[in-house]
């Protein structure tokens, strides 16, 4: 147990946590079902070519993505997305911790970080294409470059915001640099870091689609563009549905990891609300 979490961790009532989880699950399931019901009724009453009924999209989903397209397009896209997320998170946390702890380095790099953060990542895709060509490595770098900023900047701010009293206390106990880093600084910054990782997942998914829309001959984004250009509307919507499901899966996995990493933090919040 780290120095930081051992001083602030408070257990949360399990009954309240389970009740909250059940309430969140009910909302998460009920609202999409209601929206699908409304959509299905509207599509039956007034059919529209560009807004097919949910059952039509479901049929196109089964025919399109359950088969070779899943292996040839979806799995490569997911592999590039996963590698890029790992690179963005690791580099963002390591670089953000180093910059946050080193004042002169932070002051030196701050104008450069603000400059690159202000540039929309899709604008730089032609630059990466010019240097690297249309390759998997180019797409991974594009995704990682666009997704690194939330976790990098949140890590910097989280490390800077470490409680000064606890820092001095750690020094007075003659803790080594590594002990202060792993037992105080990173645990204290972890809520901000995890908030940055959550944003990174969303940005990475967006960058994956953009990189495949214009600079790829395969992948989920490419297939959605192909369906749109050939007026395969139901298939196009099925690709959008698949992207949404991937986003939900990422959110669920992240939520599980976040609850494990920030158990002490969520416990404090639940006690404060009680």
pLDDT tens digits for range 122-135: 888 888 888 888 88
* Confidence category of residue 173, pLDDT binned at 50, 70, 90: confident
User: What is the pLDDT at residue 16?
Assistant: 62
User: What is the pLDDT at residue 15?
Assistant: 57
Compute how many other C-beta atoms are within 10 angstroms of the C-beta atom of residue 28: 12
Tens-digit pLDDT profile for residues 211-239: 888 877 788 999 999 999 998 888 999 99
Residue range 112-121: average pLDDT? Answer: 86
* Confidence category of residue 193, pLDDT binned at 50, 70, 90: very high
Please report how many Cα atoms fall inside a 13 Å half-sphere around the Cα of residue 34, on the Cβ side: 6
Tens-digit pLDDT profile for residues 57-89: 889 888 998 888 888 889 999 999 999 999 999
Report residue 108 as tokens: 């030196």
DSSP state at residue 48? B
Residue range 132-159: average pLDDT? Answer: 91
163 pLDDT higher than 90: no
User: What is the pLDDT at residue 120?
Assistant: 87
Report residue 97 as tokens: 């911790």
Q: What pairs with residue 51 in β-bridges? A: 48
When comparing pLDDT for 14 and 240, which is higher? 240
What are the helix (H) ranges across 215-262? 220-229, 233-261
- 26 burial via Cβ count (<10 Å: 0-12, 13-18, 19+): exposed
- Its pTM stands at 0.83
Q: Which residues contact 228 (CB under 8 A, 6 or more apart)?
A: 236
């Amino acid at each position: 147990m780290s120095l930081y979490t051992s001083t602030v961790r408070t257990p949360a009532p399990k009954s309240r946590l389970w009740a909250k989880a059940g309430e969140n699950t009910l909302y998460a399931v009920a609202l999409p079902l209601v929206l699908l019901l409304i959509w299905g009724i509207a599509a039956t009453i007034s059919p529209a070519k560009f807004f097919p009924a949910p059952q039509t999209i479901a049929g196109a989903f089964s025919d399109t993505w359950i088969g070779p397209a899943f292996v040839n397009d979806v799995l490569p896209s997911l592999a590039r997305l996963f590698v890029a997320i790992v690179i963005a998170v690791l580099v963002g946390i390591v670089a953000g911790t180093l910059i946050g702890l080193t004042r002169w380095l932070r002051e030196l790099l701050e104008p450069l970080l603000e400059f690159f953060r202000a540039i929309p990542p899709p604008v730089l895709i032609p630059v990466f294409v010019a240097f690297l060509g249309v390759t998997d490595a180019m797409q991974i770098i594009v995704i990682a470059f666009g997704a690194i900023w939330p976790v990098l900047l949140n890590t910097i701010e989280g490390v800077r915001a470490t409680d000064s009293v606890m820092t001095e206390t750690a020094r007075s106990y003659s803790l080594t640099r590594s002990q202060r880093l792993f037992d105080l600084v990173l645990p204290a910054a972890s809520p901000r870091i995890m908030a940055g990782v959550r944003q990174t997942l969303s940005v990475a998914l967006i960058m994956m689609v953009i990189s495949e829309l214009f600079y790829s001959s395969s992948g989920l984004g490419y297939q959605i563009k192909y369906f749109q250009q050939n007026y395969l509307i139901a298939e196009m919507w099925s690709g959008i549905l698949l992207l949404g499901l991937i986003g939900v899966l990422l959110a669920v996995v992240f939520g599980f990891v976040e609850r494990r990493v920030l158990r002490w933090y969520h416990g404090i919040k639940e006690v404060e609300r009680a």
